[in-house]
Amino acid sequence: MVDIEDPKQHDETQEPITMTTSPSVEAQHDSLEELSKCIEVLLHASEAPLTAHALKKHLSLSTKELNQTLEVLQQRLDTGVLRLHETASGYRLQISDDYSSLIQRTFPQRQERLSQALLETLSVIAYKQPVTRSDIEHVRGVTLSSNILRQLFDKGWIVEKGFKDTLGHPALLHTTAQFLDAFGLSHLDELPPMPDMETIRAMS
């Protein structure tokens, strides 16, 4: 007689098949969640906004990993009062705008009231830069006080960069990254339409 091989017996003698699986979705999420906490810690501890480059360097992240982690962080922050905000100088945490009126009522001494002349001057520079001092005076219709420019320089909101190719070669004024940070902007393109001088005066 010819022995017929039992398929079951054959299967029992085969080497077990090892399956290699990629990390689970849950594990990936846990990893991103932990990284998002690290970013939150760094932003809390930093006195200035942190750039994407700095965050990637400190946490050894790729651009894709950083973007995914920031999304996780923002989702978690959405349940609280803080928001992740990107300015010209990098990322920072700030209190939601929903609570600005509460802060203003409770801590009025923290609110810096900018003068009408300063607001007008800053607006002209921001919207029409680069401009010279005489350009600002032409738009505002009044002589520009040196003290106003000094205040803007001291705040780090404006800087001289280049000279206009006219008689006397007056310095050209530009806004800075500190100006964008102060007003919560990433780029000048985010500025709202330029208000007229009467609207600016009403703000002062």
| 70 shares a domain with 129 | no
CATH of residue 44's domain is 1.10.10.10
Token pair, residue 177, equals: 């990254």
Domain end residue (candidates: 38, 69, 99): 99
Peptide bond into 130 cis (omega under 30): yes
Helices (H), 21-170: 25-45, 52-59, 63-77, 100-106, 116-128, 133-140, 146-155
In a domain, 56, yes or no: yes
* Residue 115 CB partners (closer than 8 Å, separation 6+): 148, 204
Q: Tell me how many domains the chain contains.
A: 2
| 85 shares a domain with 120 | no
In a domain, 158, yes or no: yes
As beta bridge partners, residue 91 has: 50, 86
Phi, psi of 181 (to 5 degrees): -60, -45
| 78 shares a domain with 141 | no
Token pair, residue 186, equals: 């990433």
| 172 shares a domain with 146 | yes
| 169 shares a domain with 119 | yes
| 131 shares a domain with 62 | no
Q: Which pLDDT belongs to residue 47?
A: 87
| 181 shares a domain with 128 | yes
Domain end residue (candidates: 70, 99, 128): 99
| pLDDT values of the chain reduced to their tens digit, one per residue, 204 residues | 445 455 555 454 455 444 444 456 556 657 899 999 999 999 999 988 999 999 999 999 999 999 999 999 999 999 999 999 999 889 999 888 888 888 878 877 666 678 889 999 999 999 999 999 999 999 888 999 899 999 999 999 999 999 998 888 899 999 999 999 888 888 898 888 877 766 666 655
Q: Which pLDDT belongs to residue 17?
A: 45
Domain end residue (candidates: 77, 99, 121): 99
| pTM greater than 0.85 | no
In a domain, 36, yes or no: yes
As beta bridge partners, residue 86 has: 91
What residue type is assigned to position 172 of the chain? L
In a domain, 3, yes or no: no
Nearest CA to 75 out of 107, 33, 122 is that of 33
| 132 shares a domain with 162 | yes
| 121 shares a domain with 84 | no
Chain centre distance of CA 64: 18
Structural domain for 95, as ranges:
26-99
| 117 shares a domain with 194 | yes
Q: Which pLDDT belongs to residue 200?
A: 60
Q: Which pLDDT belongs to residue 192?
A: 84
| 116 shares a domain with 90 | no
| 78 shares a domain with 49 | yes
Q: Which pLDDT belongs to residue 199?
A: 65
